[in-house]
Structure 1
Amino acid sequence: MLSKKAKYGLKAMAILAKEYGNGPLLIGEIAKRERIPSKFLELILLELKKNGFLQSKKGKGGGYYLTKMPETISVGALIRALDGPLALLPCVSQMAYERCAECPDEETCGIRNVFKQVRDSTVSILERTTLAEMAMVNTPSIN
């Protein structure tokens, strides 16, 4: 399940994508528009900044802005930055693989095989969906 942190992060990034090229946006503007607690949003945006998706500008006309064009940022990359691996089980994760302690043979494990297909489908959709595409779906602008 997507965490609240990731959901809020995606909402904020969609607003920033929609406003791409119009200058930085204040945390308060984004928080008000999306009904996200400002302090929580600040932590989320700092994490996205640390991961290279955002930059900030201080002072008058300051705020947060995307470091890359929204068409070049995948939704999957954003979720990984905020929530970690996309896989629902560690034994099918491509980024954080861990063998299940109770599983004697991964190759014949029906649960693993099903969730590997789920992972593949999920990754495919999230990696090919860009922030720009996600933002175009009914994301009102700030102004």
Structure 2
Amino acid sequence: MISQKAKYALRAMIALTHAEERGEVMSIAEIATAERIPKKFLEQILLDLKRNGLVESRRGKAGGYLLLRRPDRITFGEILRTIEGPIAPLPCLSRTAYRRCEDCVEESECEIRRVFSRVAEATRAVLDATTLKDGISKEIAGTSSLTHAK
């Protein structure tokens, strides 16, 4: 499950993607209002995104925030890692912050790790292949009708 902060970050990035399509920048207040995100919380999120090279800010009357790269070059995985850190259900499965599980005797024999390894790989595959541009399209590339079944 992703945090509320990550959800807000994704919503803010999608709002900036729509703004880019219109050739506009958005102020913090505009994003906060449009996406129903608390302004103070959004300021921190945008600062994190800026520090990690995903957005830039412009000062002045026509200032605001905009994407630093094209929407087809920014993935959901990149945004989530910026806000949440590693995308792994277990510390022993993290690519960027690997840590052996304290209670593990032998990783190669761990049944739990084997199952969650498949979960982690599938999750990364979707998040790292889905761009902001994909996110605003009505049909996300690579999905099937089974994905939408309840």
Q: Which of the five TM-score ranges fits, normalised by the shorter chain?
A: over 0.9
Q: Identity across aligned pairs (percent)?
A: 46
TM-score by structure 2 length? Answer: 0.89
Q: Which has the higher contact order (CA 8 A, sep 6+)?
A: 1
Displacement of 1:23 in angstroms is 2.6
**Matched residues in 2 for 1:130 and 1:10: separation?**
11
Displacement of 1:88 in angstroms is 0.9
Structure 1's unaligned 5+ residue stretches are: 139-143
1:24/1:65 contact within 8 Å kept:
yes
**Matched residues in 2 for 1:8 and 1:2: separation?**
10
**Residue 92 of structure 1: aligned partner:** 93
**Residue 17 of structure 2: aligned partner:** 17
RMSD in angstroms over aligned alpha carbons?
1.2
1:18/1:136 contact within 8 Å kept:
no
**Residue 75 of structure 2: aligned partner:** 74
Displacement of 1:137 in angstroms is 4.3
SS in structure 2 opposite 1:78?
A: helix
SS in structure 1 opposite 2:65?
A: strand
1:18/1:132 contact within 8 Å kept:
no
TM-score by structure 1 length? Answer: 0.93
Displacement of 1:101 in angstroms is 1.2
**Matched residues in 1 for 2:39 and 2:90: separation?**
32
1:60 and 1:44, CA in 2 relative to 1: closer, same or farther beyond 3 A?
same
**Matched residues in 1 for 2:138 and 2:76: separation?**
13
Superimposed CA distance per residue, residues 65-103 of structure 1 (whole angstroms, 9 cap, x where no aligned partner): 001000011110000000000001101111111001111
- In the TM superposition, 1:1-143 aligns within 5 A as 1-20=1-20, 22-137=23-138
